Structure 1
């Protein structure tokens, strides 16, 4: 039993079952035993690999996408260039390298990172140096035009799960069975926030909600609607939550999410409809939802891959070709990962996304 498992077991024994959201928050962010508080989880030696760690092409193209949005909005003389959930800082490093090719843009950028993990902040400082300001919350960013990226951030926010039961819902909870953590269901309740989902679900089906996602998306959108800018949100998920997507990964392998609290990464698919609703409700425009593969192809990833491949051979060339495939192919990250963008109403949509609106939900 992990140290955090003992803490959670004692808490449940004293207070009763906890929601999945509370369980995820403790497992990921407990100050002493939480997953993100205690390690760098990325890379071959870690538990998972994100797109920026696969190839520099990903960050470069996102950087040029933001650059075009900056140009389209009359090149603000000072702006906040921010990333929320910035991992090792690799994506921001690639973005900065790309925008240095755009006259005056890099000089106009103030770099800010929203990161709760002390371990990852230290790694980001190694990657980016000291010319960065760190924040615990997006609310403390400066009041300025905001150009922001969020790659695989929203999937790690704690979720609640509800199982359709008759005309109501039963919340999935974590309880104890013979002293061991087990899933269970709470009593049937109406849950007014889920009233609109009754018509589109059948008894026994699961709907997930993410209480923290809407307020964060709304904060991003409010700033962009008021001061200008753009946000690119890249994550895995779909247009509307349906089904159990809660998962745990350790050493790049799926594991039981209750087996070793604090020792595995916990995530769930992102409900892009909920994000879009929060952002449009805050007064911004939303463009997407587009698959990652289509988005990167529209931005020119194949041409960039061909340019980088010149002079490569052997294992380096094979790894480069594999990275391009992993980012774009439907059987890899190209289909399950989606992209939406937030921008001011009346401004051109960021490049690579369909200005007509979301792609059809899968």
Structure 2
């Protein structure tokens, strides 16, 4: 058991079981032992590899999509925002790929939403001398038009889990059984928000609710009403149920309760809930299809002439058996026109 695990056991013994959200928050953000506070988890030497670390093509495609949105909407001043920017690789690739778009860099001020001191230092290295403003939360971002991108950000937000029992909902919690961390259920209670979000689920169905997601999307939507768009990339589904909580350490899946603070904890994103919270026009595409519509195959063919590994990177980003269908791209905008590479743009679900 990790150092944080011993702390959690003592806390549960004194104060009772933790909700899954409380457990995730402590594992990821504990001031001394939190996963994101103490390390750089990205890349081959870390616990997981994100799409921007796989290939520069990922950031290039999204950079050009953001630049096209900016051009389509009049090419005015805009905040270029990334939430959860990791090592800064995605933003660095976005800035490099858009450097030749006339006027874009002069119009766009870069803002990163990041709480980790370790990762802020990595981001500064990646972005060199480019002016950047860091923020602790989306609520701190400036008002006005915004181009917002978030890759594997919402999956790390703490979730609460509930099981439908009769007309109520029993919350799943983390307690102690014979001195070890273990999952259990609290007595069922009324949860009107779940009645609304999961109106048609069958009895005994486990559902996941991310309380932090709606306020964040509300902040994003308030700025998008001034112009711009949001592109949210993550794994999940438009509407889903079931237990998706997972832990990853050294590129390997582990039990979420085994090494708290020493493994990444995530859950699948419910894109329907995000779109509903934004209340704006939106579209959703599989990541693979989205990147293909943006032209990633032509770019891969160009790069592979001098770097054959690009072929494997292209497959990993786009193939249905890799990241192509598990990962989705949600586009959100208050504008009347569709965003680039979205074949359907609608108010469905809002």
Q: Deviations over 1:113-136 (max 9, x none)?
A: 000111111111111135211110
The answer to whether 1:37 aligns with 2:61 is no
Equivalent residue for 1:247?
A: 246
Distance across 2 between alignment mates of 1:180 and 1:125: 41
Equivalent residue for 2:138?
A: 138
TM-score where L is the length of structure 1: 0.93
Equivalent residue for 1:308?
A: 303
C-alpha RMSD of the superposition: 1.5
Distance across 1 between alignment mates of 2:198 and 2:103: 52
Which residue among 308, 327, 339 is the counterpart of 1:350? 339
Aligned length: 348
- Post-superposition shift, 1:358? 8.8
Secondary structure class of the residue paired with 2:163: strand
Q: Which segments of 5 or more consecutive residues in structure 1 lack a partner in the other structure?
A: none
Conserved? CA contact 1:289–1:359, under 8 Å: no
Superposed structure 1 runs of 4+ greater than 4 Å apart: none
Equivalent residue for 2:266?
A: 267
Conserved? CA contact 1:66–1:350, under 8 Å: no
Equivalent residue for 2:94?
A: 95
1:6-85 equivalence runs, <5 A: 6-76=6-76, 78-85=77-84
1:122-133 equivalence runs, <5 A: 122-130=121-129, 131-133=131-133
- Post-superposition shift, 1:41? 0.3
Conserved? CA contact 2:281–2:345, under 8 Å: no
Equivalent residue for 1:285?
A: 281
Distance across 1 between alignment mates of 2:160 and 2:186: 12
Equivalent residue for 1:161?
A: 161
- Post-superposition shift, 1:194? 1.4
Compared CA separation, residues 62 and 359, structure 1 to 2 (3 A):
farther
Which stretch has the larger CA shift, 193-202 or 123-132? 193-202
Q: Deviations over 1:238-294 (max 9, x none)?
A: 0113000000000111001101110000000000000000111xxx322x2210011
Which stretch has the larger CA shift, 140-149 or 260-269? 140-149
Conserved? CA contact 1:214–1:275, under 8 Å: yes
Distance across 2 between alignment mates of 1:276 and 1:111: 24
- Post-superposition shift, 1:178? 1.6
- Post-superposition shift, 1:197? 5.7
Distance across 1 between alignment mates of 2:119 and 2:227: 29
Distance across 2 between alignment mates of 1:7 and 1:240: 36
